[in-house]
Structure 1
Amino acid sequence: MFVRAYGALASDKPLESLQIQRRETGAHDVQIDIAFCGVCHSDLHQVRSEWAGTQFPCVPGHEIVGRVTSVGAHVTGFALGDLVGVGCIVDSCKHCEDCQEGLENYCDGMVGTYNFPTADEPGWTLGGYSQKIVVHERYVLRIKHPEDQLAAVAPLLCAGITTYSPLRHWNVGPGKKVGVVGIGGLGHMGIKLAHAMGAHVVAFTTSESKREAARQLGADEVVVSRNEQELAQHGKSFDFILNTVAAPHDLDALLLLLKRDGTMALVGAPASPHPSPNVFNFIMKRRSLAGSMIGGIPETQEMLDFCAEHGIVADIELIRANEINDAYERMLKGDVKYRFVIDNASLQ
């Protein structure tokens, strides 16, 4: 089955219209007509070979929403017409301890939605900047939001679960003071989710102009991180800090804001390493620095259900597929509030 897509033929070439091949629907597969696909910063890193191992043609996209158009003979959980989503995972070994615990995101055999080895043509996965996708039923998510919110649901499949998973793992909720560093595609979701969980949320930004925007997202307080006096007012007070910044920066100033036994979790993935933090900032208050990567399939479904219950979607700018190269340049400049989403009908 051949479908239209948008992808790159080389790291130094712009994305362009392509024709790609999708497998036929197998016994345990779900075929999806893709309505919308979110644009993640990871897409840009991979398509420009800023992360090693890019295979070309590269068709990015792992924030996929649409309707079921075909199901395999053994599929019981989905039916024609269902609203569904596909995130960052389309396969895993299914047998290891991680998979058995619903943590497929940590499986050594995890297959990402694009640029991972597969038996399908051309030998690696091709993502959601395309008309259709065929995915094993285990990795398909049910969407309970109203259909008119579908485009804004798409970024939940990466930005949503990337922030929800650490917030849940470190028991964010009422009585907890939580910092969210960075107010972008990830950070704006972190603020919304932490607020909905009942935490006292403090947003950190380098820009004075984002104060009011952060409050509208649900932040109780906003700190301009370049202002040392503002930082000092929050010393040793945070239970948890979610750091979404995808560029190298000083971690020590933020670690000093954690109370004893506090944790800062990194979810932003910079192209080069952060400066090494001072070990004494850990030792003196038994603080922890951790990382978190997306979430497993059960937790992703839990996140989608939580967001539907609380009316949470991403703040988006809808674009046509042929606007993706301009969108990448704007994304590098931080010129989006807060996530681009492709209208896949424009691939026709």
Structure 2
Amino acid sequence: METNEVKAYGTEAVNVPLHSMNIKRRELQPHDVEMEILYCGICHSDLHQIKNDFGHTMFPIVPGHEIVGKVTGVGEHVKKFKVGDLAAVGCIVDSCGKCEYCEDDLEQFCDEGVTFSFNSPDKYLGGATLGGFSETYVCNERYVLSVPEKLDLASAAPLLCAGITVYSPLKHWQAGPGKKVGILGIGGLGHLAIKIAKAMGAHVVVFTTSPSKVEDAKRLGADEAVLSTDAEQMSKYAKSLHFILDTVSAKHDVNTYLNLLRPDGSVVLVGLPPEALEIGAFNVVGGRKSFSGSNIGGIAETQEMLNFCAEHNITAEIELINIQQINEAFDRLAKGDVKYRFVIDMASLKK
């Protein structure tokens, strides 16, 4: 297959800092969209992958799956996009397209396995897919999203992973008027969960271990904010919440939060702690509670989320960086030192 060479930032091994490299992108196929990448968000899972925390990183790796850009080329059969359109690519760039889940717009559950925007087998070029820390991206139009023009492009980039990761479970578990929704953790995911749950009409209670974030939670729209290390504060919320979205990506005690649920309530995990979490049997049996999980969303739901965020003027709170600052940004992300999402200005790649 014909290819084009483009600039990117990636690494060949766990302990090698990310650095400039040249990678290959496929030539346009009949249903492909090519975009110049304008902005790319940095997700906690990018950090997990470059550190091989999950044990399945395929090196060399180019991370990045919160991709916003401008269309620079379309294949002859492309119907939804034209050159010059604003477009985006999130986590999913391919699936079988014919199983029951793909047909139901649930590509994230594809029977044959979903292809992610980086670190998945690349059926076109071999090796692994390479992500958005690069000049361009090429993707089948079925997996490309339209970016509403009223959204600020840089701060919209994190919606492509963080946004859909929280929107999908909030919608599935019916966050809305009359529902008391807990948000555990205020980071890249949690701060967007506050904004989205509030826009859905829910009463939002935030739990954080950081005193400084208690006030910030209210600025972001939370109705209440609780310091989770304060046992007296926590005791006031026993059996009061319909649903808790758990965005924490480190080991933590989930049982504490199961005890804050009303009967039939759920704690839903969207963070990705590398270690196993323990669940006490009595904490789920009593009150018929559940501990569940959710992972991103399908393409149609991601488009729905982008449109919802445009309607409600929701974007991420970001720190815009140049690509040359990427290793410092990952070090800071590992320490939780970001409010609330790093986004790379990809124009810096040309420097």
- Give the Cα separation in 1 of the matches to 2:35 and 2:283: 49
Query: Deviation digits for residues 185-222 of structure 1, max 9, x if unmatched?
Result: 00001001001101000010001111111001110000
Partner of 1:309: 311
- Give the Cα separation in 1 of the matches to 2:282 and 2:122: 45
- Give the Cα separation in 2 of the matches to 1:256 and 1:233: 11
- Give the Cα separation in 2 of the matches to 1:77 and 1:211: 43
Query: Deviation digits for residues 233-270 of structure 1, max 9, x if unmatched?
Result: 01101010000000111111100000000111000001
The residue matched to 1:317 in structure 2 has which SS?
Answer: strand
The residue matched to 1:312 in structure 2 has which SS?
Answer: coil
Check if 1:245 corresponds to 2:217. no
The answer on whether the counterparts of 1:243 and 1:268 sit within 8 Å (CA) in structure 2 is yes
- Give the Cα separation in 2 of the matches to 1:92 and 1:29: 14
- Give the Cα separation in 2 of the matches to 1:114 and 1:52: 15
Query: Deviation digits for residues 309-339 of structure 1, max 9, x if unmatched?
Result: 0000000000111101000010011110000
How far did 1:11 drift?
0.9
Q: Give the TM-score, by structure 1 length.
A: 0.98
In the TM superposition, 1:214-233 aligns within 5 A as: 214-233=217-236
The residue matched to 1:280 in structure 2 has which SS?
Answer: helix
- 5+ residue gaps in structure 1? none
Corresponding residue to 2:284 among 282, 285, 295: 282
Corresponding residue to 2:337 among 322, 332, 335: 335
- Give the Cα separation in 1 of the matches to 2:279 and 2:34: 46
* Equivalent position amino acid for 2:254 in 1: L
* Equivalent position amino acid for 2:48 in 1: H
How far did 1:146 drift?
2.8
The answer on whether the counterparts of 1:22 and 1:120 sit within 8 Å (CA) in structure 2 is no
- Give the Cα separation in 1 of the matches to 2:116 and 2:192: 22
- Give the Cα separation in 2 of the matches to 1:284 and 1:265: 17
Check if 1:344 corresponds to 2:341. no
- 5+ residue gaps in structure 2? none
Corresponding residue to 1:104 among 81, 100, 107: 107
* Equivalent position amino acid for 1:316 in 2: I
The residue matched to 1:186 in structure 2 has which SS?
Answer: helix
Partner of 2:125: 121
Partner of 1:141: 145
Partner of 2:65: 62
Aligned residues between the structures: 346
Corresponding residue to 2:168 among 165, 172, 176: 165
Q: What is the root-mean-square deviation of aligned Cα atoms in Å? A: 0.9
Partner of 2:215: 212
How far did 1:111 drift?
0.2
- Give the Cα separation in 2 of the matches to 1:74 and 1:119: 20
Check if 1:89 corresponds to 2:100. no
Identity %: 57
How far did 1:122 drift?
5.0
Query: Deviation digits for residues 11-43 of structure 1, max 9, x if unmatched?
Result: 110000010000011100000100000000111
Q: Give the TM-score, by structure 2 length.
A: 0.97
* Equivalent position amino acid for 1:317 in 2: E
- Give the Cα separation in 2 of the matches to 1:326 and 1:284: 46
Corresponding residue to 1:291 among 290, 293, 309: 293
Structure 1 runs (4+) greater than 4 angstroms displaced:
none
- Give the Cα separation in 2 of the matches to 1:216 and 1:17: 38
